[in-house]
Amino acid sequence: MEKIKGVIVDIVFKNEESGYTVASLEFENDIITIVGCMPTLTIGETIEVEGKWISHKIYGIQFEVSSFLPSTPASVDSIYAYLSSGIIKGIGPKMAQKIIDKFGVNSLDIIQMNPEKLTLVDGIGAKKAERIGKNFEENRELRNLIMNLSKYGISANYCLKIYKKYKSRSIEVVEKNPYKLAEDIKGIGFKIADSIAAKMGISPYSKDRISQGIIYTLNQSLSEGHTFLPKSKLVKKASNLLEVEEEYIRDMIIKLAFEQKIQLQKGSIEDNVYLIPYYISENGVCKKLIELSQYEFEDIKINIEEEIKKIEKCENIKLAKNQKEAVVQSVKSGVLVITGGPGTGKTTTINAIIKVFENLKMDISLAAPTGRAAKRMSETTQKEAKTIHRLLEMGYSSEENELVFMRDEEDPLNTDVIIIDEVSMVDILLMYNLLKAVKAGTRVILVGDCDQLPSVGPGNVLKDIIDSNVIKVVKLNEIFRQAKESMIVVNAHKINKGESLNLNVKDKDFYFIQKNNNEDIIKEILNLVHKRLPDYYGFNSMKDIQILSPMRKGDTGVFNLNIHLQNVLNPKDKLKVEESFQKRTFRVGDKVMQIKNNYTKKWETEDGEDKGEGIYNGDIGYIYHIDKEERNIYVIFDEVKIVSYDYSELDEIEHSFCTTIHKSQGSEFPVVIIPITWAPPMLLTRNLLYTAVTRAKKLVVLVGDIKYLNYMVNNNKIYSRYSNLKLKLSKFIEAGLLTK
């Protein structure tokens, strides 16, 4: 290894995501090229780099950097170059000049030691001064971290993520237990943590390694929807992952259970192994459902049949037999499930139920698992519906540094009736948190379509509750005349029954366009979204039409289609600011989606009059502004909420001209276009097609090969999830513990 020292005179290339940089360095009166992970590098900076000379096939002799040691710039010119580079948020070229005019060579010392003095500079208030000081400090800490962790092979990109999570504790956390990274940091899996641990010399048989490997295996199974794993399956998976003999895994499972880090529960054949929160949740949901459903209500003082008649007269409608049954049961039951496919009258039934309880002067709370579903529920019921998270008054506990629900068993929801829509999307943890906050005597009405894809999170909650035969369920199965007019509704039911579909019926809303290869499918989709549908029906390409793909990768996957769609719907334009990252370019006007729940993300309206927090997985917005100096991308959601994303937070959003069908759960769009082509069989399933088609309100266009469409309709293999809720609920019947 060789060390060289010089001044950075140019940055030729910098990958914002990975930190990989190509720069020109003035060294011994010559300009040389240095390459490597140097995300904080800036022009004018003096640095000392360690590495080796290499000969690149195209670019010739370069210095490949393995670590670098920045020294603070000293001359006014280099300080200007450093400050104006944009690396410190809030300082661009103009501000850099003003600071230097004021403080000269002492500028950096002032920023580091006495940032409050920056207020002496015109245009810097106390808040901004504090922010600049903090940013400078973070930048320094990050450099330090990169230098310290590079010896373990941790790239600058990971250092950024690590720093974002642990801040000044980063080195301490990593050196104490590198496996913690796999638990806490998205993008660092067990394998990466394991390779870091190996470089630190941690033994493959170490207790930390084996226990983290087991926990990691269980965590992985959650993302596949399982609430537990049978012990033998866990042992096999963990042993494969860790490449250690199964006996070590078995021993560690016992130890972890003893330390109450995991829970073993006797199954009919073998033990089932749970992570503790999921064990508590599954048992809790079961217990709470039984308790609430067993509640003996006092006799209601109204004649429910009369009430139904009144509502029918008022709404000029005749409720079907099962709809009436649902209304009657909603009054009688502590817990009621109402399920049915599209157009079977769920919304009409909810509205009738609301009327009955309103006439009884009872308090009703409405909620749904996602922001979009809650918004729709508000529209169809004309009453406020909240997300379940908001209903439970989610907050942030600074002591434990985690999200907590303010409403729980100690401070339950104070309401008479709770109606939850789109329950198929509720996973076991959320259901537990919800039910915990419901006091005995409150009626819970769960509404959903059990043929939709199950929740993203673990569990099979709605289906398990229905199949248990313990909770009162009303199935709505009549498709009403008005709904029958829609081929979307008719075909959705046909898909569910595995029947062939009514395609291309004149003047209807369900079309299939045969295309035999991916190239033609893409061309057709672009033509439809850009020209044909806007021209013929007047749909807005961006706002009304949503492309849904079964997969992320491949020609017709989300990544590739988004690139094509961006080129057509929001092409390069010198009037539109854009910023390129490794694999994607964000441009003002792009359609993007938030891809994880961020309960604390702040939003504000343009005039600053309305503010709030929380942007949720699946929320769709548009890029509104890109501030290169501040390194921020601003996205507008729901037409008014403006949210700022620092460049380091861009893993929270992705382009959404096209999204996966999974991500579209709970949302509705006027028009849905779906590419139908080869994909792995586990993606070409009936319930995936059903979920995609039922997202459309006005028009569905399928583009592709009919043989794959038929394959999807016929493929009703549902990939089963390990969940014991149904079994646990049924046990109450076997034990004769149910009184009703």
Ligand X SMILES: Nc1ncnc2c1ncn2[C@@H]1O[C@H](COP(=O)(O)OP(=O)(O)OP(=O)(O)O)[C@@H](O)[C@H]1O
Size of interface with ligand X, in residues (CB under 6 A) = 16
Residue 319 near ligand X by CB under 6 A: yes
Residue 317 near ligand X by CB under 6 A: yes
Question: In 579-615, which positions are buried (b, 16+ CB within 10 angstroms) versus exposed (e)?
Answer: beeeebebbbbbbbbbbebbeebebbeeeeeeeeebb
Residue 354 near ligand X by CB under 6 A: no
Nearer to ligand X, 181 or 311 (CB): 311
> Kind and range of the H or E element at 235?
helix 231-242
Is 46 annotated to bind a ligand? Reply is: no
Contact 141, 159 (CB under 8 A): no
Q: Which of 320, 568, 642, 718 binds ligand X (CB under 6 A)?
A: 320
What's the closest the beta carbon of residue 507 comes to ligand X, in angstroms? 18
Q: How far apart are CA 594 and CA 653, in angstroms?
A: 5
Nearer to ligand X, 64 or 668 (CB): 668
Q: How far apart are CA 307 and CA 300, in angstroms?
A: 12
Residue 340 near ligand X by CB under 6 A: yes
Backbone angles phi, psi at 288, to 5 degrees: -70, -40
Is 663 annotated to bind a ligand? Reply is: no
Is 345 annotated to bind a ligand? Reply is: yes
DSSP 300: P
Integer angstrom CA distances of residue 563 from 522, 556, 585, 586: 11, 11, 9, 11
Site residues for ligand X, 477-536, by CB under 6 A, read 480, 482-483
Nearer to ligand X, 156 or 548 (CB): 548
What's the closest the beta carbon of residue 224 comes to ligand X, in angstroms? 28
β-pairing, 696-704 with 669-676? parallel
What's the closest the beta carbon of residue 34 comes to ligand X, in angstroms? 60
Is 346 annotated to bind a ligand? Reply is: yes
What's the closest the beta carbon of residue 350 comes to ligand X, in angstroms? 8
Scanning 289-297, 317-325, 529-537, 600-608 for contacts with ligand X by CB under 6 A, the matching segment is 317-325
Residue 147 near ligand X by CB under 6 A: no
Q: How far apart are CA 712 and CA 715, in angstroms?
A: 5
Q: Which of 42, 46, 344, 549 binds ligand X (CB under 6 A)?
A: 344
Q: Which of 15, 24, 139, 348 binds ligand X (CB under 6 A)?
A: 348
Backbone angles phi, psi at 15, to 5 degrees: -90, 115
Scanning 341-349, 424-432, 460-468, 543-551 for contacts with ligand X by CB under 6 A, the matching segment is 341-349
Residues contacting residue 212 through CB under 8 Å, at least 6 positions apart: 177, 179, 182, 183, 190, 193
What's the closest the beta carbon of residue 685 comes to ligand X, in angstroms? 20
β-pairing, 443-448 with 417-420? parallel
Integer angstrom CA distances of residue 400 from 103, 219, 396, 596: 42, 21, 9, 21
Nearer to ligand X, 134 or 698 (CB): 698
Q: Which of 213, 345, 550, 666 binds ligand X (CB under 6 A)?
A: 345
Question: In 401-423, which positions are buried (b, 16+ CB within 10 angstroms) versus exposed (e)?
Answer: eeeebebeeeeebebebbbbbbb
Nearer to ligand X, 455 or 562 (CB): 455
Scanning 10-18, 319-327, 392-400, 539-547 for contacts with ligand X by CB under 6 A, the matching segment is 319-327
Scanning 312-320, 502-510, 614-622, 671-679 for contacts with ligand X by CB under 6 A, the matching segment is 312-320
Residue 44 near ligand X by CB under 6 A: no
Scanning 5-13, 314-322, 605-613, 710-718 for contacts with ligand X by CB under 6 A, the matching segment is 314-322
Is 347 annotated to bind a ligand? Reply is: yes
Q: How far apart are CA 350 and CA 354, in angstroms?
A: 6
Residue from 643, 640, 642, 701 nearest 669 by CA: 701
What's the closest the beta carbon of residue 300 comes to ligand X, in angstroms? 23
Question: Which residues fall in the annotated binding site for ATP?
Answer: 343-347
Q: List interacting residues with ligand X (CB under 6 A).
A: 317-320, 323, 340, 342-348, 480, 482-483
Question: Which residues fall in the annotated binding site?
Answer: 343-347
